Amino acid sequence: MEDYLKEALEIVKAQASVRTMTEDEITSMVQKLAAGIKSIAEGGSISVEEEAVIEPSKAIREKSILCCVCGKSFKILTKKHLASHGLTADEYREKYGYKKKMPLVCKSLQRERRKKMKEMKLWTKRGKNK
């Protein structure tokens, strides 16, 4: 198992050098990769579409949102990405217990958008045009 672990660590090290990762993400990724590499080396196969081990309550973070299906990290879960899992945004929210209107974006981007909308004061402009 040691060789598989070394290979997995190299891959995760390269990934961590290009994006910010939490300890949980690093640990989880190393474990998955080591098991996957071992399985392939022993002639087995790995299932690409496993249920992710990410808790929906912990998926939305300050600077990222994790896809509960594949575990990948994003700033925004797009329609295109969700479609790659055969889901719409509404189906995704329902499947993982999110509220119907909850935006699938990281917290910092959500705050930024809210602030920008308050600055624009669109609700006052709309009233003047009538």
pLDDT at position 36: 80
Residues 35 and 88 grouped into a single domain:
no
pLDDT band at 129 (very low <50, low <70, confident <90, very high): low
Give the pTM.
0.55
Per-residue pLDDT of 37-96, as tens digits, reads 777 777 765 554 445 567 888 889 999 999 988 888 999 999 999 999 899 999 999 998
Instruction: With a cut of 90, say whether residue 26 has pLDDT above it.
Output: no
Best CA proximity match to 25, nearest among 52, 57, 5: 52
Q: Which domain holds residue 119?
A: 50-130
Assess whether 129 and 70 both reside in one domain. yes
Do 128 and 103 lie in one domain? The reply is yes
Ramachandran angles phi, psi of 108, nearest 5° = -65, -40
Based on the fold, state whether residues 3 and 61 are members of the same structural domain: no
Phi, psi of 71, deg, nearest 5: 85, 0
Distance CA 95, CA 105 (A): 17
Indicate whether 56 and 33 sit together in one domain: no
Same domain, 59 and 79: yes
How high is the mean pLDDT of the chain?
83
* Residues 122 and 59 occupy one common structural domain: yes
